[in-house]
A and B are shown apart, each in its own frame.
Chain A
Amino acid sequence: MLYSTFYLDGTLMGLPIPCILEIGRAFKIHPIQGAPELVDGLINLRGKVVTIVNTGLAFGGTKVQQTQESRIYILKNNNELREVADPELDLQTSPDNIGLHVDKISDVINVEKDQLQAVPANINHPYYKNVVRRGDEFITILEPEKVLNLNEHQDLIS
């Protein structure tokens, strides 16, 4: 399967390509009063309202700032995902379209199933699904439905 990789505060992470609706950058983000802190705001994507999660804050780290290099992954909702993705892949996102704001995107990589390794127990973060080794680098593959579950975020933060 193909993965789009990105950097978050220096860590290289990957998202499955089939889960992604598109990647953009020059979105106008509308801040929402009262929303959780990790939500940057809302965007209007061709008529759809999409919540943008600040991935840096979602991981409890540094806030991702809008820069020349920062990008927003718009993820498919579960219905959209079902229409195109191979059911065997067993992918889940969330009922709504949600965007992930990241520092910088990197290459698209193709990872065979047998290259996916389990996350070491001592760094077992709830958002991590697998680890892939590429040369000298490690790429942590994320589990989109976990990252996108805002209720769970609240629990994590509290």
Chain B
Amino acid sequence: MSKSKNINFNIYNPVITYEHRAAFDMIVSHLQEIFPICNQGKCKALEVSDDPQKQKQINDLMEKVEFFSNSLITITRVFFDQLYRAKETSSQSISRSTAMIKIDMIERNLLERTCDVRWWALENAFWKCITHANESNKQASKPTAKTTKSAAAAKSNAADSTLKKAVELACKRLEDIRNSYTLYRDLVIVSLDGTIIANSNGDRREEVIGMDVSSEEWFQKALQTKDGTEYFVQDISESKLEKEDSLIYSTALRADGDEQGAVIGAMGVLFDFQGESQIILNEYLPVDHDGSTLDGWYSFFTNDHGRVICSSEEHFIPSGFIADLPKRHLGLKQPGEVLVSTAVIRGARSLVVSHKSEGFDEYKGLGWISHLVLPESAMFERSLENNDYGISPQELMNSRLIPDTNKKTYQEIQRNKGDIQLISINGIILATDLGKAGSSFIPIFDQITTTGNSTTGKMEELLSEMSSDMLQQNLKALENFSKQAIDLIDRNLFERAADVRWWSTDHAFWEALQKATKENLDEASKRLGIINASYTMYRDLVIADLNGRIVANSKSENRDKLKRINVSEQSWFRQGIQISRSVEYGVQDVCNSDLENEDTSLIYCGGVLENGQRKGKVLGVLGILFDWETLAVPILEGCLPRINNEVVEGGAAFYVNSANEVMATTDSESFSIGTKVDVPKENMNLEPGDSASGIFTANDRKYIIGSSKTQGYREYKGLNWTAHVVRPID
């Protein structure tokens, strides 16, 4: 047991609640009452017996009682320290993971943006448009002495008309992207001299087209990229393009849309960072009955210079300013570095947790830091939830949720209680042997027993309170993990829904379906192959004609097998042929599909429309087979409960579909795919976006569980899935 000198939370620490101070006073004053009683006993020993051996026996008993009383006073001090340390550790661990979740969520999103911009830059309409624009610029700057004025004018008119058409098409395609991927405020393409030629946002077109951005870093750096695999990201900063600070991803447009081609211009995409971050920052913060974040809780990101780039409370912690935090929190250097400290923030003593971004996957990020600030007192508040989970305080106290040091204290209290009881009874035995003379001892030993029982009883009560708080905190943590798990998959599936909508408009696909020549079909397959090579998360991409025959696919090795399959009865195809607008998509829930040799397939579909129009007759269906388990399992693994970065023994996470069947799991032995887990009813029947927690038994073990049901994300409405995160407690 830790000695009293190592006590962090002594009873005078302001975070100790009034109730606990009162309990401490009561325990200590009761124990101190024992000392005069023992003195009285020692005096009586002299009175009632002349036998020195009997006197010594009584004296020894009294001294033993004094020893155990002293020891209980020390334990009481240590006990309060441990109670508060346990709450502190648990709160800090939850806060650390919350700060990490937020930055991880935004970085995962930004990784997608880097893929997007590189892929889009290869689009025919864009490089063709910029080629014309560059030509036109050259013509305008050439001397016209050798040609007649009328010939020059005629040429110029023809060129103007071609350029105009090219710009219109480029704007339309940029709009298509923005309609499919609703995360962008604008997308622009820029000629070599830095003039914006086309944009996606019709409302801002007059203002933006023709703007000179040659002095902007994102444009200059885009021109310096070596090939189509490179991109540049300009950290949040001012740009001529918009009033708000912008986060711009850019890359070069290359001749003939070839990744190795000469640089002919640039593409810049303006991500709605503030809108997206606001959603993320406001998640996982406690709210009052009106849904407003509780006072003193702030969540915000800072950039490499310590400047706030987005905040959950713009009024108190505004963007654009250096965050009012201890400097150490703003200067974290190592990716993944975490700093936890206490500081006075906006007048309140607060816990400050900062997590430096590690980026995600190949996207290394911009060195941003996620900060979470909460009132220090919030760490030690009693949980308001008081659900009966059918678990006894004793069982809870002995469960894995309670740190070993607290269990040891519990055992020590139990042992001392037992010792005091034993001393008292042996004292009573001794007093009885003394006959009438000894009867005056009996009230003394009775009093010792009563005091011992009441003080240890009070301590047990506090321990039980602590274990119930620990249970609540752990349940809340599991709820947060499950919410993170469902949010991450929703956000990822949103991207897939955006991908399929955009790809369905590709010229190669509608051309192949409109005129099914071998050349066109080969081109469509080639194009699908390029997509599949650029985006690693698909197993295959297929195009089916209206009869349900697969006419093109991305993987040549599957082609012969697919040609023999008719998909006209499959859900994704049936949904796809109903689509008449390019902003629509369909999805077939996880199932076993004959399109591939996998246990589970998740297929998104988009309608390929006549002439690539936004609204029109469907010619066929694009189906994309998402390699979803490869994505889902790492997400689930990232949401497992951990202690000191180690996954808790037996901790598991899994997704279930609307029939409550496991679809992806981190523990295929205990919670295997296709089985139904007997989770509590409250966790099974959640409303969209809701979370719940509880206790259940599976595989002869008792588990605590946190569950969250999908609420979808933007245009992706979710498929009624639920994420469950569990950890055993016995």
B421 contacts A22, C-beta separation under 8 Å: no
Residue of A nearest to B439 (CB): A2
A17 B429 Cβ-Cβ under 8 A: yes
Evaluate contact between B429 and A25: CB separation under 8 angstroms. no
Q: Is B719 an interface residue (CB 8 A)?
A: no
- CB distance B415 to A2 under 8 Å? no
Contact A23 B429 (CB under 8 A): yes
Interface membership of A158, Cβ < 8 A:
no
Mask, A11-27, CB within 8 Å of B = 1, is 00000011011111100
Is B598 an interface residue when CB atoms closer than 8 A count as contact?
no
B432-A17 in contact (CB<8A): yes
Which residues from chain A contact B442 at a C-beta distance below 8 Å?
Answer: 2
Contact pattern, B 550-561, Cβ under 8 Å of A = 1, otherwise 0: 000000000000
Kindly state whether residue A108 has any CB partner on chain B within 8 Å. yes
User: Which of B411, B422, B432 contacts A23, CB < 8 Å?
Assistant: B422
Contact at B426–A22, with CB atoms within 8 Å? yes
Residues of B within 8 A of A20 (CB): 429
Q: Which residues of B contact A108 (CB under 8 A)?
A: 424-425, 428, 446, 449
- B296 lies within 8 A of chain A by Cβ: no
Min CB distance A87 to B, Å, is: 12
Residues of B within 8 A of A18 (CB): 432-433
Selected from A2, A25, A68, the residue in CB contact (under 8 A) with B428 is: A2
A71 and B429 alpha carbons, distance in the complex (Å): 15
**Distance in angstroms between the alpha carbons of A25 and B421 in the assembled complex:** 12
A105 within 8 A of B: yes
Nearest to A76 among chain B residues (CB) is B433
- CA gap between A20 and B432 in the complex, in Å: 10
**CA separation between A19 and B725, bound complex, in Å?**
58
Task: Kindly state whether residue A123 has any CB partner on chain B within 8 Å.
Answer: no
Expressed in whole angstroms, the Cα–Cα distance for A24 and B64 within the complex equals 14
B563 to chain A, nearest CB (A): 72
Report the bound CA distance from A23 to B432 in whole Å: 14
Bound Cα distance A74, B498 (Å): 81
Chain B: interface size category: 10 to 19
Residue interface bits B393-414, CB-to-A below 8 A is 1, else 0: 0000000000000000001001
Q: Is the interface of B mostly helix, strand, loop or mixed?
A: helix
Residue in A2, A18, A25, A105 with the greatest tally of chain B CB atoms within 10 Å = A2
Instruction: Let me know if A121 is at the binding interface, CB within 8 A.
Output: no
Tell me how far the C-beta of B251 lies from the nearest C-beta in chain A, rounded to whole angstroms: 69
Residue of B nearest to A21 (CB): B429
Q: Which of A98-117 contact B (CB under 8 A)?
A: 105, 107-108
Which residues of chain B come closer than 8 Å to A35, judged between CB atoms? none
Contact A68 B422, CB 8 Å, known A2-B432, A18-B433, A22-B429: no
Interface membership of B143, Cβ < 8 A: no
- B418 and A23 form a contact (CB under 8 A): no
Give every chain A residue within 8 A of B433 (Cβ-Cβ).
Answer: 18, 84
Minimum distance in angstroms from A114 CB to a CB of chain B: 20
Task: Judge whether B435 is part of the interface by a CB distance below 8 angstroms.
Answer: yes
Inter-chain CA distance A86–B434, complex, in Å, is: 11
Residue in B415, B422, B428, B432 whose CB lies within 8 Å of A24: B422
A51 within 8 A of B: no
Contact (Cβ within 8 A) A84 B428: no
Name the residue of chain B whose CB is nearest to the CB of A17. B432
| Contact across chains for B425 and A84 when beta carbons are under 8 A apart | no
A69 is an interface residue with CB less than 8 A from chain B? yes
Query: When the two chains form their complex, are residues B418 and A69 in contact, meaning their CB atoms are under 8 A apart?
Result: yes
- CA of A108 to CA of B424 in the docked complex: distance in angstroms? 9
B residues within 8 A CB of A84? 432-433, 435
- Cross-interface CB contact of A68 among B418, B432, B449, cutoff 8 Å: B418
* Residue on B nearest A81 in the bound complex, by CB: B433
B residues 117-160 near A (Cβ < 8 Å) are none
**Closest chain A residue to B453, Cβ basis:** A107
Whether the Cβ atoms of A23 and B425 lie closer than 8 Å is: yes
Contacts of B432 in A (CB 8 A): 2, 17-18, 84
Q: How far is the CA of A15 from the CA of B433 in the complex (A)?
A: 15
Contact in complex: A68, B415 (CB < 8 Å): yes
- Provide the residues of chain A in CB contact with B414, threshold 8 Å: 68
Complex: A18 Cα to B422 Cα, angstroms: 16
Tell yes or no: A93 within 8 A of B by CB: no
State in angstroms the CA–CA spacing of A2 and B425 once bound together. Answer: 11
Partner of A105, one of B415, B425, B446: B425
A18 to B430, CA, bound (A): 9
The answer to whether A55 has its CB under 8 Å from any CB of chain B is: no
Nearest-CB distance from A48 to chain B (Å)? 16
Q: Is the CB of B411 within 8 A of A68?
A: yes
Chain A proximity mask over B435-455: 1 for CB below 8 Å, otherwise 0:
100000010001001000000
> Inside 8 A of B421's CB, which chain A residues have their CB?
105
Residues A25 and B422 in contact in the complex (CB < 8 Å), given A2-B432, A68-B411, A84-B435 = yes
Docked complex Cα distance between A105 and B420 (Å): 12
Q: Which of A18, A23, A86 has the most CB of B within 10 A?
A: A23
Task: Give chain B nearest CB distance to A106 CB in angstroms.
Answer: 9
Min CB distance B412 to A, Å, is 11
How many Å from the CB of B466 to the closest CB on chain A? 20
Complex alpha-carbon distance, A18 and B442, angstroms: 14
- Interface positions, chain B 623-651, Cβ under 8 Å from A, are none
State whether A4 and B425 are in contact (beta carbons under 8 Å apart), knowing that A17-B432, A18-B432, A25-B418 are contacts in the complex.
yes
- List chain A residues, Cβ under 8 A from B418: 25, 68-69
CA distance A68 to B416 in the complex (A): 11
Contacts of B425 in A (CB 8 A): 4, 23, 105, 108
Q: How many angstroms from the CA of A84 to the CA of B433 in the assembled complex?
A: 5
Q: Which of A23, A69, A86 contacts B426 (CB 8 A)?
A: A23
A105: which B residues are within 8 A, CB to CB? Answer: 421-422, 425
Residues of chain B lying within 8 A (CB to CB) of residue A68: 411, 414-415, 418
Distance A141 CA – B451 CA, assembled complex (angstroms): 27
**How far in angstroms is the closest Cβ of chain B from A45?**
13
CA of A21 to CA of B442, assembled, Å: 16
> Bound complex: CA of A17 vs CA of B445, how far in Å?
14
- Closest CB in chain A relative to B252 CB, distance in Å: 74
Interface string of A55-87 (1 = CB under 8 A from B): 000000000000011010000000000001010
- Complex: A107 Cα to B428 Cα, angstroms: 11
Give B residues with C-beta under 8 Å from A.
Answer: 411, 414-415, 418, 421-422, 424-426, 428-429, 432-433, 435, 442, 446, 449
10 A-B pairs with least C-beta separation: A84-B433, A17-B432, A20-B429, A22-B426, A108-B428, A23-B425, A18-B432, A17-B429, A4-B425, A108-B425
Between-chain CB contacts (< 8 Å), 11 pairs: A2-B428, A17-B432, A18-B432, A23-B422, A23-B426, A68-B411, A68-B414, A68-B418, A108-B424, A108-B425, A108-B428
Supplied contacts A2-B432, A17-B432, A68-B411, 19 more A-B pairs, CB within 8 Å: A4-B428, A18-B432, A18-B433, A20-B429, A21-B429, A22-B426, A23-B422, A23-B425, A23-B426, A23-B429, A25-B422, A68-B415, A68-B418, A84-B432, A84-B433, A86-B435, A107-B449, A108-B428, A108-B449
